[in-house]
Amino acid sequence: NAGVTQTPKFQVLKTGQSMTLQCAQDMNHNSMYWYRQDPGMGLRLIYYSASEGTTDKGEVPNGYNVSRLNKREFSLRLESAAPSQTSVYFCASSPIQGGSYEQYFGPGTRLTVT
């Protein structure tokens, strides 16, 4: 069991470039999440997918798009990167059923936009 995997681990982009962050989980979880983490601000939800085929905006969705490709995979796309998107991005998954609400996190992607 790999749990939640994210690629890449590090990325440097120039302003205006685009990229996709990949996330996959092998725990058969229904729900998946994308967060960004900035110093002193905790974790902020960008987008989430409650189940395969659905996606919804979180607290800070502007500048991002997501795709729930199948039950395992949930990708985050930056269409035109801006320096304000420099952050650490975490993907998480959760069963959200049977009374289990724990979120399992990937190792993160450190993104710098210059």
Which spans of this chain sit near another protein (rule: CB under 8 A)?
4, 31, 33, 40-45, 48, 50, 58, 90, 92, 94, 96, 101-108
Nearer to another protein (CB atom), residue 23 or residue 81: 23
Backbone angles phi, psi at 106, to 5 degrees: -80, 180
Shortest Å, Cβ 35 to another protein: 8
**Nearest-CA neighbor of 87 among 54, 51, 60?**
60
Shortest Å, Cβ 107 to another protein: 6
Nearer to another protein (CB atom), residue 17 or residue 75: 75
Give the CA count within 13 Å in the CB-facing half-sphere of 80: 2
Structure tokens at 108: 């993160």
Q: Could you give the CA distance from residue 36 to residue 78 in angstroms, rounded to a whole number?
A: 13
Nearer to another protein (CB atom), residue 42 or residue 53: 42
Shortest Å, Cβ 16 to another protein: 29
